[in-house]
């Protein structure tokens, strides 16, 4: 019997949808994922489903465990606070999963005049570099996602250079 892997689709930018997307990228069922984050075996799938459809809030200590099990940076799955410029950047990384043909072009000033410009300028140059590597097929989509998820540096991802 052949098993085929299809690329997951992001439903929305909600916290639950982002967690579901990463769980699917990591090839985990709701049951297995629930057990790994410490939910009881009898209710693991049900509780994960409720997290993913936003029917239940995720406590901070549980979110930390989710990030650990999914091997992602907490900023990729936490609720966003748009007063923090990094959260805006992480949202843009996720928008790309909703609209893959859209490549965000940041045209900041040559001398950033506030924290938002400074953070976006710094982060965007790295993003542009990684996106170019992915588009030129120097790295795979999976490695590009791992970079976006915040757990792998560029130096560990070199495929063809």
CATH fold, domain 15-76, is: 434 Repressor (Amino-terminal Domain) (1.10.260)
Using CA atoms of 5, 10, 14, 18 in order, give the dihedral in degrees to the nearest 10.
30
What gap in Å lies between CA 22 and CA 15, rounded to an integer?
11
Outline which parts of the chain fall under CATH 1.10.260.40. 15-76
Query: Which pTM was predicted?
Result: 0.83
Of 154, 84, 78, the closest CA to residue 119 belongs to 84
Tell me how crowded residue 76 is: count the other CB atoms within 10 A of its CB.
19
Span 90-130, pLDDT tens digits: 888 898 888 877 666 666 556 657 878 888 888 888 888 99
């Amino acid at each position: 019997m052949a098993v085929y892997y299809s690329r997951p689709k992001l439903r929305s930018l909600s916290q639950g949808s982002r967690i579901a997307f990463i769980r699917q990228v990591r090839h985990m069922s709701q049951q297995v994922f629930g057990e790994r984050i410490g939910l009881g075996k009898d209710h693991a799938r049900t509780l994960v489903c409720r997290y993913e459809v936003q029917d239940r809030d995720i406590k901070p200590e549980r979110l930390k465990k989710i990030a650990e099990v999914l091997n992602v940076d907490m900023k990729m799955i936490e609720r966003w606070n748009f007063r923090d410029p990094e959260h805006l950047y992480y949202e843009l990384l996720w928008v790309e999963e909703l609209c893959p043909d859209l490549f965000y072009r940041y045209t900041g000033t040559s001398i950033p005049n506030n924290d938002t410009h400074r953070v976006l300028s710094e982060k965007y140059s790295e993003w542009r570099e990684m996106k170019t590597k992915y588009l030129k097929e120097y790295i795979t989509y999976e490695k590009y996602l791992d970079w976006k998820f915040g757990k792998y540096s560029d130096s560990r991802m070199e495929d063809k250079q």
